[in-house]
Amino acid sequence: MGITLGAIADDFTGATDLANNLVRAGMRCVQLIGVPRGDIDIGDADAVVVALKSRSCPVEEAVDDSVAAIGWLIKQGACQLFFKYCSTFDSTQTGNIGPVADALLERIGSDQTVMVPAFPANGRTVYQGHLFVGDRLLNESGMQNHPLTPMQDADLVRVLGNQTPHPVGLVPHSLIARGSSAVHQELLSQATAGARHVICDTLDENDLEVLAEAVAEFPLVTGGSGLGQALPEQYRRLCWLDEVADPGRLVPAQGSALVLSGSCSRATLGQVDAFLEHFPGFALDPLLLAEGETHFDEALDFARQHLVHGGPVLVYASADPERVKTVQGALGVEGAGMLVENALGRLAKLLVGEGVGRLIVAGGESSGAVVSALGIRQLRIGGQIDPGVPWTQTPLEGRAAPLSLALKSGNFGEQDFFTRAFKVLDELTQETQL
């Protein structure tokens, strides 16, 4: 039997966000990194989420990667396909949401899909086709100044209209209030009238449930991770998905425990301080890293010395804004970032090679650097530590047990995240042993 849901996401953290919500809603989920090719062992996964980097790259590249990934997911027998983008509809003037959605519809031979970016739990709602972040329109939410995907219009019908040659429809809230059959009927009549993409109003979780029921049998849906959380219940109703007792369970973890932090976000700085009250840590100084190998070797030795006893040990470049400014003044913003990311990637590779089996990485870019240094292509998604941050596991060549990995974006997680995460991992894996 094939998978139930095959999804593509236009960036890495977006993919994890969707995968995490799918697990919480009862699906066993694997996240793949980059366009999958050939045979990949996805175990007993009900859902596969492919993480692409297609949000702000050239349109053609986004379309090619998305179509290739969807082709692979179709081969896995997916009952439904999902194109995941940000709940703030992050896109450029010319794409990439519209062109990718058009190409996917063409690939599967379908003539309509819905656009449901809303994530009410995080304050992202849509009314009369206008996207709100909290109580502000999208173009007044700060997103209008985003460096890569500035969103200067909250009217999604108009935004999408600029990205596709096809008519864009709207399902207003007044219709959603009439229930899923009414929505379904409306979508059918809009399809007949030629509306290829239909923006859907969404004010709360209840609206998401109505929409999920209305579109559960669509071959392709698009939206944010809020819709993802509402769909699994429909898959169970349609008997496409069994009840899974513990979808976030992981196999017992083995190996020592390491934390690498390249995030300078406020939440991470608090987490670093809290960790250092109880456990050892080494502060990486980018200025010293720039001078040669000595500082890197000291960090490596320090980590090795504490990993002998199983850890946990922390190596961190995290620093307060003033320190970061000084370092960036001396090395340049990119230069400093590259030095730190490179050091974290090398540390991860060496220390995992020497027996680290439980690894936390703090920082979005830092996580990307570590994932690529380790050559990771797939992550089995486990239970969550804090909202939006699950434990994951990835197979390690030559080792019986997988690497347990938690990738935390800057501002995520409570103060005690680094220490509590290892306890959560023990709980997630103990249940397997029962």
Burial of 246 per CB tally in 10 Å (0-12, 13-18, 19+): middle
Contact status: 46 vs ligand ADP (CB under 6 A): no
Which CB sits closer to ligand ADP, 191 or 288? 288
Give how many residues touch ligand ADP by CB under 6 A.
22
Q: Per-residue string for binding with ligand ADP, 240-279, x by CB under 6 A? A: ----------------------xxxx--x-----------
Among 17, 201, 213, 341, binds ligand ADP (CB under 6 A): 341
CB of residue 336 to ligand ADP, shortest distance in Å: 4
Which CB sits closer to ligand ADP, 6 or 368? 368
CB of residue 393 to ligand ADP, shortest distance in Å: 22
Q: Are 392 and 406 in contact (CB under 8 A)?
A: yes
The alpha carbon dihedral of 417, 419, 423, 425 has a sign of: positive
Which CB sits closer to ligand ADP, 187 or 317? 317
Q: CB-based contacts of 319: which residues, under 8 Å, 6+ apart?
A: 264, 283, 327
Q: What are phi and psi of 208, to 5 degrees?
A: -60, -40
Contact status: 324 vs ligand ADP (CB under 6 A): yes
Phi-psi region of 320 (alpha: psi -120 to 50; beta: other; left: phi over 0): beta
Q: Where does this chain touch ligand ADP (CB under 6 A) — which range of 91-99, 125-133, 162-170, 335-343?
A: 335-343
Which CB sits closer to ligand ADP, 281 or 410? 410
CB of residue 89 to ligand ADP, shortest distance in Å: 21
Residue type, 432: T
Structure tokens at 241: 């998905």
| Pairing of β 389-394 and β 356-362 | unpaired
Q: Which residue is nearest to ligand ADP (CB)?
A: 410
Angle of the 205-215 helix axis to the 225-237 helix axis, nearest 10: 50
Quote the CA–CA distance of 120 and 208 in Å, as a whole number: 9
Which CB sits closer to ligand ADP, 3 or 348? 348
Burial of 434 per CB tally in 10 Å (0-12, 13-18, 19+): exposed
CB of residue 426 to ligand ADP, shortest distance in Å: 26
Structure tokens at 197: 């993409």
CB of residue 54 to ligand ADP, shortest distance in Å: 19
Which CB sits closer to ligand ADP, 235 or 275? 275
In total, the chain counts a number of residues equal to 434
CB of residue 407 to ligand ADP, shortest distance in Å: 10
Provide the binding-site residues for ligand ADP, judged by CB under 6 A.
Answer: 262-265, 268, 286, 317-319, 324, 327-328, 336-337, 340-341, 363-366, 409-410
